[in-house]
Structure 1
Amino acid sequence: MKYKTTKIFLFSTLLLILFYNSLFSQVVADTFYVPNYPIPEIYYTDEAPELPDNVWNHKLKYFPDSIVEQLGSTCGQTSGIFNCLTYMFNRAYDREADSSNIFPPNYTYNQINQYHGVSTFDSWNLVKSQGHPSQLEYETINFYASMLNPDANADHFRNFWMQGYNNYYKSFFNRITNYHSLDVKTDEDLKILQYFLFNMFESNKDGGIAIFYTNPFSISDRFCTTMFPELYPNYPCAVIDTIYEYYRPTHSMTLTGYFHNDSVDFNGDGIISDTIDINGDGKVDFHDNEKIFWIVYDSKGQRPPYLLKYDVLELFWNQQVFFPIPDTTYSPELTFKIKFKHPERGDIKITAGISSDLESEKPEIEIDLPVFNFQGRDICFTGVDSLSEPDILEFGIDITDLKNYIPESDVYKVFLLIENEGTSSGELQKFSIMDYSHEEIIEYDIINTPVIIHSASNNYFSDEIYLESKSFNNHIQIEKLNRFAIPVAQSVEVPIIANFGSTPYEYTIINDNEYIIELSNKPFPSDENYHYDTLFTTFVTPDWNFSFSEMLWNSIKVTSTGAIYFDTDNLSFVELYPYQTAPKISQFYFKPFELDYPRGGQLPLSINITNDYLEIFTKIRYTMAYQTYLFKNESYTKITKDGVIETTYGDTISRYYIFPHIKTEYNKYLIPNIAEIPDTFNTVTFTTNPADSLFTIDENGVLTMQAVSEPGKYETYVLVRDADGQEFTKRIEVNVINENIIGKLYPNPTKDILFCDIYNPTEQNTTIEIFAITGQCVYKETTLLAAGITEHNFNTAQFGQGVYLLKISMGGNSQTQRFVVTK
């Protein structure tokens, strides 16, 4: 059993800050890395081009024709998508901004949103993977509507998901290669930033624009307001000389240029200078520069820009500004085309996978996507109830990146994985894979008749496609050899050989049957003399370790819904760059209800720890039929040292909310669909199911299969994880054969087709012959057979009725068996 140590974070504090801040803005991470943009060396020398006095990029043709007002918490998208992405793409293509190339601010927000704001970096990660639609493709409403305007359609703006595969396909072309940063904490940094805004380090080119994170500017941040008619006529601009610091930044804005100051004197000496020590620190540096303002546009609609004193930028979050780089050469080569129905889109995750083993039922590599990833909140799939079919969405997903995970061109099995983590079933109405890498477009139709996607289920769909490797990303691989043959009553050791990725490797046998589920009826335990705390979430660390999913955990996180999280290193608030290199983060949890966290704030929770088990009483607030029930004894959960988890539900809770389920690294375990089970239970028990001991694997990757007495095909799946968290799953097949060459021969008698299992101890040429009872050879072939058990079939419709002999010869041995053909 593996041992897992949990790092404990101030999770409840962070969640509360998230909750309150996200009501009006967005929160970005404390820990962050975005690579600096490469700067040509000449810009650090005296040979750098001369800078103009003013750079007003918001007045160039690339910038959107109007400044939009953010709706809700879309400041990161108003600045990072509508302003910055639009500008940078139009600059790259040297075109004027219009509705065909302006990127709406709510597309990525609506795709990702889960009850709180979405950072610009999350949006850019989506664009890096899936591109971005223009205003024309997105079919959105008037950008200039305000959430305070009673005529504004809030559902459309804040919930709408784009409809139609062709719209998604057009979006795929608008990818970015990366997003980068520039530091803003020294004299040299700020000079380099001026060059970025002037020409973006390219001769005879216009400059770029960037975004930054800080806190909303307050009245106390303003040095003054004054008129600058040449910059913004008719209205005064606010001059900012400092930024009030909160716990963490919550607001994104756009840096569009700089402006020569000849009217605002910051120290009141009558001189506007950059050579006088105006702050009295004994040196002259960028803090003393009064000559340059930075031009900043907020996401508050048609308002004058802010003018920032030269040194204010060092108060920006991370002391950096950020910008995306358009990929003007990209064309999608492989996509999913999907038509899907579900009433709660936040319960659905879609993953792409690939396998070189065409017989595998699981992908060897899965890539998490930044879209359709339990996102968009638990509302209808389109996001707008007033549409004629609000639960049905036709969409596309760009999976061209799969080609970066294969080291060589070959036929591969391409997988679509649909995870449904909700109580409601869905429907995959249509699914095909589109291949654009040839002169003619190829569509592989996989699903044309609707398939039910049951509640809390994993669903794989696949097809075999020839793929050409693109830019192999050095992702971990396992050598292709995965089929072995051994005699009866003999064990075997198979070395799992991993390549690429980063050492050391960790080897695990996937156990798909970790828990047994039992339903029963038990009295609801008394909570008399138990103390309740009203909270959102808490950590529990007893003197003993929890057993869960074949691992030991020294701490768990408990929410006031009774959900139990067995946390690995917590990356929930750490931004990762770029998204392709982020390790797959596995969540281990038990939830007695469908709810992840209580909606509406902190709720009463009582926890009791003994030497052998832990008890959790919850009182859940929920609404049913427009009536709110508060603080009822809803559930009692008991988790024991040996890993048994049992929940008993009080009679006050609606059956609708009873949805106990476990998620481990490899599987989900849940009670059957509510409609399929009787109402006579109130207790659900999850008992650990010991792993099958037929296969074991050691820390060096040597897989051992114990000896068996029955010939046949035995298989298991091995997961290998490298030091960076990259994973590869390999199906291992062991064929146990006896001294016979011919195994099963069926059906016998036969009419049209005969099947035969051929036992082959090693890869070798094999001769197959069929003789009539007269001795005449009526069929003969020689073929190279792989080691193991091979199913061969013969067309017997061409033979007349009678008795025949099948003879198979290999390696100097042969065997003959009789079969009958009937008509």
Structure 2
Amino acid sequence: MKKFFLSLLVGVLSGVVFFAQQVAGQAVNDIVPLSLPETLKGRALPEGVDNSVAPWFPPIYSQLWFPNCQQASGVYHAFTYAVNHARHDTANTPDHQMSANFTYNFYDGESQDGVSFLHSYQLIRDAGNPSVTDFGEDHMVGGLYWMNGYEKYLHSMHNRIDKVYSIPVNTVEGLNLMRQWLYDHLDGSEWGGVAVFSAHPPYSDQFLPPESPFAGSKVMPRIITTPSHGMTIVGYQDSIRYDVNSDGRFTNNIDINGDGRVDLGDWEIGGYKVVNSYGEEWGDSGTFFLLYSAFAQGIENWGAQNECAYAVTVKENYEPRLTAKFKISHNIRNRLSLKMGLSLDTARAYPQIIREYQIFNYLGQAHLLSGNDSIANGEQLEA
């Protein structure tokens, strides 16, 4: 059995950069298009699915003043669901809920700009993600806090993303693929998957009419302006309906948007169930319906970012084989980059292999390592 020896390499930005360029994080770059197995093509599905009631789904998140909707949807809602589904753990305890602000605080901090959940997914691949128990309640620790303590980081390492899948949402084929994923993960599971997308926030005050199932529920018939808000698709209902063009009918077979063809963009029947991150007091206990056709109005008329939603699978029982424990002190954390050197020979002056990670890599704004510039020893961190 080979034995590796670890060394910690520290790069500090001070006029020059050691080891690498200064990078403010990278989004996951090996996204796999989800595909439907031949054996599932053409199978009948139920009229509706709602995975928000599954035991794996956590209580709905309230982002309050944080612009962390991407992490609320992509990490707290979707990653929590994926981890608990794989491990058959219930999500009604902080031990089994994934912190949203762990990755948000590395990337964004005080800028109020937010950062894509795809950036968070890359960091989770590298370092894992802590539970709410280990990290703390987001609104208690704030938007600058970096987690302190090796044991907490070790716990986090077990919670890893395996694959990130893209699902097109602007075509009938993509819709059918999404419905299959929501139904049973494409593998016969009792509960299906969930998916994350970015679009304009659901500010409209529109509701399903009396003629529709779930009448009176909040609905978003169309998406307007920039795709900046992260949300989680948890199910679908094929029979909900909304009269988009106000002609007194509910149709899927006439050209209502005037583009000269009849396709998904013209559908007034059918929609996704979506979980928002404004708490359970918003909408219908934190949820709303989004017409299938809202995603298919053409990229020039907005919709979902990249015209896709994204789903993750996880490493069910991941065990790190080699870890590094360190204590470090620094007073400007976004000038710091940590890398791991590995070598078979302890006599070597320089490592044979240098591994660069997303975490602790010129991130976190110009603060002490802890994120609190006013406490004693705030420049110290153990991880």
TM over 0.5: yes
Match of 1:92, SS? helix
5 Å-filtered alignment, 1:353-372, equals 353-355=341-343, 359-372=347-360
Q: Which residue of 2 aligns with 1:299?
A: 277
Matched, 1:255 2:233: yes
Alignment of 1:774-793 (within 5 A): none
1:316-347 superposed Cα distances (whole Å, 9 cap, x missing partner): 11111012211013100111111122222222
Q: Read off the aligned partner of 2:80 and give its amino acid letter.
A: T
Q: Tell me the distance in 2 between the aligned counterparts of 1:276 and 1:388.
A: 67
Q: Tell me what 2:123 maps to.
A: 126
- Residue number in structure 2 paired with 1:106: 101
Instruction: Specify which of 184, 187, 190 is matched with residue 205 of structure 1.
Output: 190
The alpha-carbon deviation at position 275 of structure 1 amounts to 3.7
Superposition pairs for residues 135-534 of structure 1, below 5 Å?
135-138=132-135, 140-141=136-137, 143=138, 145=139, 153=140, 156-219=141-204, 224-226=206-208, 237-246=217-226, 249-262=227-240, 264-279=242-257, 281=259, 283-302=261-280, 303-304=282-283, 305-314=287-296, 315-355=303-343, 359-385=347-373, 387-395=375-383
Q: Describe the superposition over 1:733-788 as per-residue Cα deviations: whole angstroms up to 9, x where unpaired.
A: xxxxxxxxxxxxxxxxxxxxxxxxxxxxxxxxxxxxxxxxxxxxxxxxxxxxxxxx
Offset at residue 313 of structure 1 (A): 2.0
Conserved? CA contact 2:51–2:235, under 8 Å? yes
Q: 1:76 to 1:262 in 2, by over 3 A?
A: closer
Conservation of the 8 A alpha-carbon contact between 2:49 and 2:183: yes
1:63 shift after superposition: 1.1
Q: Secondary structure at the residue paired with 2:143?
A: helix
Q: Does 1:81 align with 2:69?
A: no
SS state of the match for residue 80, structure 2?
helix
Written as runs of structure 1 = structure 2, the 5 A alignment for 1:810-821 is none
**Any idea what SS the aligned residue of 2:103 has?**
helix
CA distance in 2, matches of 1:36, 1:296: 21
Deviates more, 1:199-208 or 1:75-84: 199-208
Change (3 A) 1:283 1:366: same
Instruction: Give % identity.
Output: 29
- Larger Cα Rg: Structure 1 or Structure 2? 1
Measure how far apart 1:43 and its partner are.
Answer: 2.7
Mapped contact 2:31–2:163 kept (Cα < 8 A): no
Amino acid at match of 2:317: T
Kept after mapping to 2: 8 A contact 1:258/1:294: yes
Counterpart Cα distance in 2 of 1:210 and 1:311: 17
Cα offset, 1:130, TM superposition: 1.1
Distance, in Å, in 1 between the alignment partners of 2:220 and 2:341 is 50
Q: Is the 8 A contact 1:184 1:321 kept in 2?
A: yes
The CA distance in 1 between the partners of 2:375 and 2:217, in whole Å, is 43
- Measured after TM superposition, the shift of residue 55 of structure 1 is 1.2
After superposition, the C-alpha distances for 1:279-338 in whole angstroms (9 at most, x for unaligned) are: 455544322322211122222223122321212123211111012211013100111111
Mapped to 2, the partners of 1:242 and 1:95 lie a distance apart of 36
Letter in 2 for 1:173: H
CA separation of 1:82 and 1:70: change in aligned 2, threshold 3 A: farther
2:208–2:214 Cα contact (<8 Å) kept = no
Q: How far apart, CA to CA, are the structure 1 residues paired with 2:173 and 2:218?
A: 26
Within the alignment, does 1:34 sit opposite 2:31 as a pair? yes
Shift of 1:237: 4.0
Q: CA offsets, 1:346-394, max 9 Å, x none?
A: 2221101234565542233322111111212221211124555322211
Alpha-carbon offset, residue 269 of structure 1: 4.1
Answer yes or no: is the 8 Å Cα contact 2:52–2:235 preserved in 1: yes
* Mapped contact 2:32–2:163 kept (Cα < 8 A): no
Aligned partners of 2:120 and 2:105: how far apart in 1?
10
Structure 2 counterpart of 1:95, one-letter code:
D
TM-score by length of 1: 0.39
Report deviation, 1:244.
2.3
Match of 2:47 in 1: 53
Question: Secondary structure in 2 aligned to 1:349?
Answer: strand
How far apart, CA to CA, are the structure 2 residues paired with 1:377 and 1:204? 43
Paired amino acid for 1:338: F
**Residue segments in structure 1 that go unaligned for 5+ positions in a row:** 1-26, 146-152, 396-823
Residue correspondences, number = 345
Cα deviation for residue 204 of structure 1 reads: 4.0
Change in Cα spacing, 1:389 to 1:232, as seen in structure 2 (3 Å) is: farther
| Contact residue 28 and residue 250 of structure 1 kept, 8 A | no
| Alignment check: 8 A CA contact 2:35 2:177 kept | no
More strand by share: 1
What is the letter of the counterpart of residue 102 of structure 1? Q
Task: Quote the offset at 1:277 in angstroms.
Answer: 4.2
1:85-125 deviation line (CA, Å, top 9, x unaligned):
11111111222102111011101111233644222111111
Distance 2:255 2:209 in 1: 27
Once residues 238 and 294 of structure 2 are traced to their aligned partners in structure 1, the CA distance between those partners, rounded to angstroms, is 16
What code does the residue aligned with 2:220 have?
I
- Give the letter aligned to residue 326 of structure 1: V
CA distance, structure 1, for counterparts of residue 177 and residue 375 of structure 2: 50
TM superposition score normalised by structure 2: 0.81
- SS of the aligned residue for 1:196 comes to helix
Which one has a larger percent helix, Structure 1 or Structure 2? 2
Is residue 112–residue 371 contact of structure 1 (8 Å, CA) maintained in 2? no
Q: Residues 162-184 of structure 1, C-alpha deviation per residue, up to 9 Å, x if partnerless?
A: 12111111111111112111112
1:183-236 deviations in Å (ceiling 9; x for gaps) = 1222111111111111111214211111112233454xx6x33479x9989xx5
Q: CA RMSD in A?
A: 2.8
